[in-house]
Amino acid sequence: MANSFFFPFAYLILREAGLSAIVIGTVAAVRPFIGIVSMPAWGYIADRFGAQKAVLLINIVCAVLLRLGLLLLDQNQVLLVVVLLLSDVFGCAVEPSMDATVLELLCDPGLYGKQRLWGAIGWGWVGAPVAGWAVATYGLPAAVLIHASLIAASLIIICPMTVHAPKRTGSILAVAGIVFRDRVTFFFFLALLVIGQVRLSSRPPAAAPAAPAAPACAPRCSASLPPRARPPAAPCGPTRGMGRRGPGRSSRSSSSCCRTPGW
């Protein structure tokens, strides 16, 4: 639930600092690649030295401190982006480490889905609405502060826990091979890849701004009417008299409605 107060609003922090849409889009494209590298790297360190709990605490504390630092760096755009990406180096590994810890503490691994269900409820049904209200009422700093407070509350639960090192199942590539060896899993990920590419390629281009509509001419100005059916044209120049602007004020009509092509 704590992440629902930060991840949806990280790019709003960059926009409030004055960064362009191109820079924000570039940051959004780089962040997933940081997670791809940092998550297995921190997992390897935790398994290699048997320090799952220590790695988890380091990731949580560093990520929270760096995200709180974003509130103080709104005047330095370059440093703001660097700190945000650096916070992802630590923060992206928190959730996988928590999942691994939960799996080790559960007596039955089949109960893991129920634990993740409550996490989804906390994010979507509780955290997201409250976060939106907090940002709309108190601004973006409120969401970051609530995020840090909830993380600090989780440390009270994590610190007394005893986390044992998980059983080694081989290298990352070997585990990935086991996962993709199943045909159903392989075709599932393949379908996701194809659907994503199709959606990107079929997205319509941005529509050009519509041209302003030409002023509608009165029937008396239409050149398509026979000469005898045309009513006398009203003067196009400035006139004086009673009009919408009151007596004695100038009222000007558009001359384009009283001209025909070729004049």
Q: Give the pLDDT of residue 248.
A: 46
The answer to whether residue 231 scores a pLDDT higher than 50 is yes
The answer to whether residue 123 scores a pLDDT higher than 70 is yes
The answer to whether residue 224 scores a pLDDT higher than 90 is no
Question: Among candidates 124, 141, 155, which has minimal Cα distance to 12?
Answer: 141
Cα–Cα distance, 179 to 173 (Å, whole number): 10
pLDDT in tens, 132-176: 898 999 988 998 999 988 888 888 888 887 776 666 555 666 666
Q: Chain centroid to CA 172: how far?
A: 30
Cα–Cα distance, 103 to 112 (Å, whole number): 7
pLDDT band, residue 86 (cuts 50/70/90): very high
Q: 51-60, 88-97, 163-172 — which is least confidently predicted?
A: 163-172
Backbone angles phi, psi at 251, to 5 degrees: -130, 120
Classify 240 as helix, strand or coil.
strand
Q: Give the pLDDT of residue 52.
A: 83
The answer to whether residue 31 scores a pLDDT higher than 80 is yes
Domains delineated in the chain: 2-168 (1.20.1250.20), 219-258 (no CATH)
Classify 250 as helix, strand or coil.
strand
Count Cα atoms within 13 angstroms, Cβ side, for 92.
Answer: 20
Instruction: Look up the pTM and report it.
Output: 0.63
8 A C-beta contact, residue 2 and residue 150: yes
